Every structure is written in structure tokens, then in C-alpha cells.
Amino acid sequence: MAKLGRAALPRVSAAEQVYRVLREKIEDGSLAPGEHLADGELAEELGVSRTPVREALRRLVDQGAVETVPGRYTRVAALDETEGAKVFPLHALLYGFATESALETLDNTDLTEMTAYNERMRIAVGEGDLEAAREADRQWHGVVLRRVDNPYLSLLLDTLSLHSRRLEALYFQDSRRARDSYRQHADIIAALRQGDRAAACALVRANTGQGPCPR
């Protein structure tokens, strides 16, 4: 089983700590599809009891990232490239809607933070580090999503993002896509700084593969 490392644990509840570490490793493929997850081994490696590990695993089971048969196995859920046809369009639709709803509330502090993450993405792409580029992309979108005032939408997007990132890490290693995303992000930020919400909306829809903005 892949080593997780205790240093990765942030200061939140133990169950949340374990969940974040496991989710990150599942998303980036460090914990591969089909890999077995023994709660005792995970608890020992992360320096926690079995209880928060089991809570984290149940949460990942609910999200479809882990599968379990009581008394037989708990393992990272299988993932097939064809699932992208189910995940990506729905994720794009909901993310586009979420982003449009957040455009009015983004302020200069948000835009500065988004610019910094986008610069990290540009540097990572230039260095051929697609894992770092995906992380910078995730952080860029995270700034937008934290402005979404709709807990139901946020919950759906959280689960879809998990599967979208798994698919990207396992099957999509295209630096051109990352470069295109960086440029689109820069254009979105520029439109927002100019106060052109209509242009920002159109750019968001282009970034997420949707149609034109509603009039």
C-alpha cells in the first residue's frame, strides 16, 4: 500500500484529517483502483485510532470512491476511462452554474489569489509537472467555489470533483489541456477585473464546455 505520511495531516478533526489524506491519494492515483485499504494499517501509519479511519472510509464509500464487502474487503473503487462520458459533462454543467452564481461576489482579494494560483499552474506546466498543475488548477477553482452560497450544489460538486480528478490523473496526461486552462483562467480574471461579467460568464462556459450564457 502507498505510504501516506503523517506530516500531511492538517489541524482538523481526526476523521476529517484521514478523509482528506485518503481522498487526495485516491484522486492523484497514489492509491490505485483496486488497492486494499486495511483500517488497522491506515490507523497505524497515520497515527490515529481505527475509529476516524472507519469514519473516513464510510464517507468515501458514500461518495463512490471506495467499495466494501463486509468481512471480505475494503478497496479503492474501480475506475474505467469510459466513465468520463458520465462524469465530465455533469461536472461541467454544475460547475459552470456554480461559477456563474459566484461571479458577483468575487472581490479583488479573490482575484489576486486566483492570479497567484494560475501563475503556479503556468510554471508547473512549463516544467512538465502535471500533478502540480492539477493541484494549482484545483486551488484556483476552490477560490471560486467557496463563494457559492448553495450547500446542495457544493455537496454535489464535491463528489463529482473527486471522480473528475481521479479520471484526469489516471487517463488524461495532456499538457496542452493544462496550457489551455491556464489561458482561459487568465482571461476570466481579466474580464472580472474589468467588471465585464458577461464576458466572464462566456469564458467560464468555454472553460467548462457549455453553450452560450443566458440572456
Range with lowest mean pLDDT among 101-110, 156-165, 201-210: 201-210
Q: pLDDT digits over 52-99, tens only?
A: 999 999 999 999 999 999 889 999 999 888 888 899 889 888 888 888
Residue 5 pLDDT greater than 70, yes or no: no
Q: Which residue shows C-alpha cell 456554480?
A: 98
At residue 205, the pLDDT reads: 76
At residue 19, the pLDDT reads: 96
- At the top level of CATH, the class of 6-76 is mainly alpha
- At the top level of CATH, the class of 81-208 is mainly alpha
Q: Is the pTM of this model over 0.85?
A: no
At residue 1, the pLDDT reads: 64
Residue ranges, comma separated, of all CATH 1.20.120.530 domains in the chain are: 81-208
Distance between CA atoms of residues 167 and 146, nearest Å: 23
At residue 116, the pLDDT reads: 97
Residue 208 pLDDT greater than 80, yes or no: no
Average pLDDT, the chain: 87
Distance between CA atoms of residues 215 and 203, nearest Å: 15
At residue 172, the pLDDT reads: 62
Instruction: Confirm if 162 and 25 have CB atoms less than 8 A apart.
Output: no
Q: pLDDT digits over 126-152, tens only?
A: 998 988 888 898 899 889 888 988 999
All cell numbers assigned to 180: 489551455
Residue ranges, comma separated, of all CATH 1.10.10.10 domains in the chain are: 6-76
Q: Which amino acid is at 50?
A: R
Q: How confident is the model at residue 11 (pLDDT cuts 50, 70, 90)?
A: low
